[in-house]
Amino acid sequence: MGQKVWLNGELVDREDAKISVFDHGLLYGDGVFEGIRSYGGRVFRLKEHIRRLFDSANGIRLTVPMTADEVTKAVTDTLQANGLKDAYIRVVVTRGVGTLGLDPNRCRSPNVFIITDKIELYPRELYENGLEIITAATMRNHPNAVNPRIKSLNYLNNILAKIEAIDAGTLEAVMLNHQGFVAECTGDNLFIVRDGLLFTPPIEAGILEGITRDEILAIAREAKIEIREENLTRYDLYVADECFLTGTAAEVVPVVRIDGRQIGDGHPGPVTKRLAEKFHRRTRS
């Protein structure tokens, strides 16, 4: 059975999942998306993902031509059509076909498509041994430009930082905000552990309000780990006892070296391991 893609109300073969070159999602990055995971056939935090999708759409004045319940059903239908239980799900809403001008009012109707597939963002050994990252020179977008809480189709800012990471021989890069504080990585939120306390940049630092980030915060509270959401500098990263990244695709991945500096003892730390294990059990229970 070939891969099926949900496109504007129909499940079509992958080869037939096509939209016009005049779609403003392609021409201008005008649209929004969500990356979602399923475990054992159950979609993880689907309600929260769909709410964020609609919030992102509202943020760019894009009307999703479906209700939240209809999107939910489309996601589950696409999973079932592809016979997938453990999968990555991409839900995309574009502005739709329009003219070569910027005017969104000339777009006839939004396009919606859903792709379900498997994904492994990092090699398995990095979850066991830890990841090395750098600090990117590319700055995170200013919150008063395109607000980073909007998960839009324009990821060029993140891609430029990702290129810096790849050029440096690593897979991920920390991005600083316009004030010089740590924001997040190109595709993941960031946490550090110092003296048993868990630190992560606040939403106001210009980060995406990650679903996995929220889950880790909830797990930490249950585990009686003290949490501080406050501005962090590169120095705070360098002197941390532990560091890890979180994201829908990445889940929880430890970091053991930043800008050539060893973090802690150079191995994934006990708090990171504890939170990762609890997250793994929660998503697969």
DSSP 14: G
- 4-117 classified as CATH 3.40.50.300: no
Q: What mean pLDDT is predicted for residues 95-124?
A: 93
Res 284: pLDDT: 85
The model's pTM: 0.95
* Band of pLDDT at residue 119, cut at 50, 70 and 90: confident
Decide if 151 is catalytic. Answer: yes
Nearest to 140 by CA among 188, 192, 185, 201: 185
Q: What mean pLDDT is predicted for residues 4-19?
A: 97
Q: Are 107 and 97 in contact (CB under 8 A)?
A: yes
Fold classification of 124-284 is D-amino Acid Aminotransferase; Chain A, domain 2 (3.20.10)
- Cα separations (Å) of 117 from 5, 40, 79, 209, 256? 10, 14, 9, 24, 30
User: What does the pLDDT look like over 56-73, one tens digit per residue?
Assistant: 999 999 999 999 999 999
Round to whole Å and give the CA distance between 273 and 219.
Answer: 13
| Helix H or strand E segment including 220 | helix 211-222
For the chain, the domains span 4-117, 124-284
The single residue of 47, 85, 118, 151 carrying the catalytic annotation is: 151
3-state class (DSSP) for residue 210: coil
3-state class (DSSP) for residue 211: helix
